[in-house]
Copies of this chain bind each other. A is one copy, B any other.
Amino acid sequence: MKIAVDAMGGDNAPQAIVEGVMLAKQDFPDIEFQLYGKEAEIKKYITDEKNITIIHTDEKIASDDEPVKAIRRKKTASMVLAAQAVKNGEADAIFSAGNTGALLAAGLFIVGRIKNVERPGLMSTLPVMGEPDKGFDMLDLGANADNKPEHLVQYAVLGSFYAEKVRNVQNPRVGLLNNGTEETKGSELTKKAFELLAADETINFVGNVEARELLNGVADVVVTDGFTGNAVLKSIEGTAMNMMSLLKTAILSEGVKGKMGALLLKNALHGMKDEMDYSKHGGAVLFGLKAPVIKTHGATGPDAVRYTIRQIHTMLETQVVPQLVEYYEGKAE
């Protein structure tokens, strides 16, 4: 399998990206990597050239570039060339830690939607607290700002495919994020989506779930509109980051006592941070496209790159995308 890597995307590129690829190469000798970016820079971090091809380009998309414009105008940017490679069948998937909006645009306009999937959704596997091996797939996390009820049903199908094929969850439970668990609760959007989800026999719909319960593993797949999904994800991340930093400040303010306490609780504190870190599940997938298009955090390090390559490897190995294509081709327009 061939993965097109935007080696220039992210705060620590190309170093973190290339180092991550070197780690992933050890795990998966069956992957051929195409690294798009500045050859001289990339070469610095290559420790083993086997299965590595560098496609040199000087152009790259900056984190503050306007996404759609950037994709259209910077025709030789590393991200654009990587997406083109997927479109042309020269690569099977694309990976980037760069400008999220630009990658979404590259995914939609270059790689392209699966026929009959109206609005691909941005999906991540988020953590279930106290159960490090578990997680839940949530979408849309912000690929779209406005969604129709029908889109949420597509997200349910997409998320169920992912949970079952890629994460190996049998008969994944699908929850609808709502402002109460009762059937009658919700906005116009979620009330209508509830009806459609309940009527769809291809998914295992378990009803409404509330944001407060998400991290407790109430569902294997959680669907919501992109605006709410984005706000919920950022609320979870913001709260977790704030609490970790509150704790750090509080410990430091306790002087020697704090240092000793922190030393004794080192494993416990580390475990807590670890539980919140969901990068082990991989990056965010723009799901519903003709090939895996994966984004990791811009501040990503080599380990997160490695986990994301593992995720892409599983997506390609399980053929989740071709199976989705087949499912949706059987559907009427």
Give A residues with C-beta under 8 Å from B. Answer: 129-130, 142, 145-146, 177, 179, 185-188, 190, 210-216, 224, 226-228, 230-243, 245-247, 249-251, 253-254, 257-258, 260-265, 267-269, 271-272, 275-276
Take A232-B232, A234-B212 as given contacts and tell me if A268 and B251 are in contact as well, using a CB distance cutoff of 8 Å. Answer: yes
Please tell me if the beta carbons of A265 and B268 are within 8 angstroms of each other in the complex: no
A265 touches which of B210, B246, B265 (Cβ 8 Å): B265
Copies of this chain in its oligomeric complex: 2
Please tell me if the beta carbons of A267 and B254 are within 8 angstroms of each other in the complex: yes
Please tell me if the beta carbons of B258 and A243 are within 8 angstroms of each other in the complex: no
- Residues of B close to A246: CB separation below 8 A: 129-130, 271-272, 275
Q: How far is the CA of A187 from the CA of B262 in the complex (A)?
A: 44
Please tell me if the beta carbons of A264 and B260 are within 8 angstroms of each other in the complex: yes
Take A187-B227, A227-B179 as given contacts and tell me if A268 and B247 are in contact as well, using a CB distance cutoff of 8 Å. Answer: yes
Q: How far is the CA of A232 from the CA of B186 in the complex (A)?
A: 15
Take A240-B239, A276-B243 as given contacts and tell me if A130 and B249 are in contact as well, using a CB distance cutoff of 8 Å. Answer: yes
Q: Which 8 A-B pairs have the closest CB atoms?
A: A261-B264, A250-B268, A261-B265, A235-B235, A211-B234, A212-B238, A239-B239, A212-B234
Chain B nearest CB, measured from A224 CB (Å): 8
- Residues of B close to A249: CB separation below 8 A: 130
Least CB separation from A241: chain B residue: B212
Q: How far is the CA of A247 from the CA of B214 in the complex (A)?
A: 18
